[in-house]
Amino acid sequence: MDLIAPLDALFLLAESREHPMHVGSLQLFEPPEDAGPDYLRELRETLLADNTVRPTFSRRPATWLGAPQLAWTQDDQVDLDYHVQHSALPAPGGMDQLLDHVSSLHSALLDRHRPMWEMHFIEGLADGRFALYAKMHHALIDGVSAQRIMQRTLTTDPFATDVTVPWNLPRKERTPRTVQPKTGLLGALSSASSSAAALLKATRTGLLEQQLTLPFEAPRTLLNVPIGGARKCAVRSWSMDRLKQVKKATGTTLNDVVLAMSAGALRAYLLEHNALPDKPLIAMVPVSLRDEDDLDTQGVKVAALLCNLGTDIEDPAERLRVVSDSMRRNKQVYHGLGPLQTLAVSGAVVSPMAAMLLPGFASMTAPPFNIVISNVPGPRESMYWNGARLDAVFPLSIPLDSQAVNITLTSNADNLDFGLVGCRRTLPDLHRLLDHLEDSLSALEDAAL
H or E element that contains 363? helix 361-364
State the Cα–Cα distance between residues 9 and 58, nearest whole angstrom. 17
Residues in the chain: 449
Cβ neighbours of 195 (radius 10 Å): 10
DSSP for residue 55: G
Catalytic residue among 138, 335, 431, 436: 138
Q: Is 353 helix (H, G, I), strand (E, B) or coil?
A: helix
Amino acid in position 442 = S
Residue 138: active-site member: yes
Say how far apart CA 343 and CA 356 lie, in whole Å. Answer: 20
> By the 8 A CB rule, do 428 and 103 touch?
no
CA distance 55 to 438: 41
Q: Reduced to 3 states, what is the DSSP secondary structure of residue 280?
A: coil
What is the b/e burial string over 336-375, where b = at least 16 CB atoms within 10 angstroms of the residue's CB?
Answer: ebbbbbbbbbbebbbebbeebbeeebbeeeebbbbbbbbb
Rounded distance between C-alpha atoms, residue 61 and residue 73, angstroms: 6
Phi, psi (deg, nearest 5) at residue 6: -55, -45
Packing angle of the helix pair 432-448, 240-250 (nearest 10 deg): 40
Burial class (CB in 10 A: 0-12, 13-18, 19+), 181: exposed
Question: Sheet harboring 117-123: ordered strands across?
Answer: 84-88, 117-123, 130-137, 22-30, 388-396, 384-385
Q: CA-CA distance, 129 to 115, in Å (whole number)?
A: 29
CB 132 within 8 A of CB 27: yes
Number of Cα atoms under 13 Å in the Cβ half of residue 329: 16
Report the catalytic residues. 138
